[in-house]
Amino acid sequence: MEWKLISIASLIVFYGCYFVKMFCQKRQGIQTDQIGKDKVGFEKFVEVTMKIAAILVFIAGLVSIFIETSHSFTVVRIMGAIMSVGGTILFIVSVWTMRDSWRAGVSKTDKTELVTNGIYQISRNPAFLGFDLLYIGTLLMFFNWILCSLTIFAVLMYHLQIVNVEEDFLLATFGNEYQQYKKKVCRYIGRKR
């Protein structure tokens, strides 16, 4: 029962933050959901597929939680709980740090700033890392092969979004400033020398 509680609480807080941020930005006239908008070709494919993957892994995670699909070792479930809670905290901190520059997907029309402070000093993509940790944590607590496949698919799509859409956009928009930032901070976690 405690695994269900941890998982459900993590999902509620994580997605609560996501949708509350979207709502608050909408009230300010900011269109947060930019996934697939004004995109063509491979960029559009990656963003739309990423969104589908996120929805599928969320649904599979909920089903797995409610039917208690796993009887993993306790230590594996503890690791999963730590990852889920950690991913949720990481996501909240990253969204908070981004303030009004945060978007779901890349917006080629909104003028935002390059955020390099706070959590972004140790990860260029902490929000994506938060998603990954939440999904992997849920998988470790409620392992089944369908959830495993969808988790891998979602994590892969987030990675493709970063390397094929976001990094190209940031380089084109911020040029040398982004290049210098990229030289200092790792894509997922850590600082470079």
Residue-level pLDDT at 71: 73
Distance in angstroms (rounded) separating the CA atoms of residues 95 and 59 = 23
- How many Cβ atoms sit within 10 Å of the Cβ of residue 59? 12
The three-state secondary structure class of 185 is strand
Q: What is the pLDDT of residues 124-183, one digit of tens each?
A: 999 999 999 999 999 999 999 999 999 999 999 999 999 999 999 899 889 999 999 999
Rounded to an integer, what distance in angstroms lies between the CA atom of residue 151 and that of residue 192?
28
Residue 23 lies in a domain: yes
State the pLDDT confidence band at 1, using cuts at 50, 70 and 90. Answer: low
CB 135 within 8 A of CB 85: no
Q: With respect to residue 192, please indicate whether it lies within any of the assigned structural domains.
A: no
Check residue 180 and give its pLDDT.
Answer: 94
At position 79, the amino acid (one-letter code) is M
Q: For the domain that residue 97 is a member of, what is the CATH number?
A: 1.20.120.1630
pLDDT at 53: 96
pLDDT more than 70, % of the chain: 99
Task: Kindly give the interhelix angle for 41-66 and 145-161, rounded to the nearest 10 degrees.
Answer: 150
| 65 in any annotated domain | yes
Is pLDDT larger for residue 28 or for residue 78? 78
The one-letter amino acid at 167: E
Is 154 part of a structural domain of the chain?
yes
| pLDDT exceeds 70 at position 58 | yes
Assigned domain for 148 exists: yes
Contact 134, 7 (CB under 8 A): no
pLDDT at position 3 is 86
Separation of alpha carbons 51 and 90, rounded Å: 20
Instruction: Find the length of the chain.
Output: 193
Poorest-pLDDT segment among 67-71, 82-86, 118-122: 67-71
Domain that holds residue 138: 2-27+41-105+112-184
Q: pTM to 2 decimals?
A: 0.91
Domain count, the chain: 1
d(CA 193, CA 179): 15
14 within a domain of the structure (yes/no): yes
**Better-predicted residue by pLDDT, 182 or 103:** 182
Judge whether 36 lies within some domain.
Answer: no
Which residues are registered as beta bridge partners of 185?
A: 191
DSSP state, 187?
S
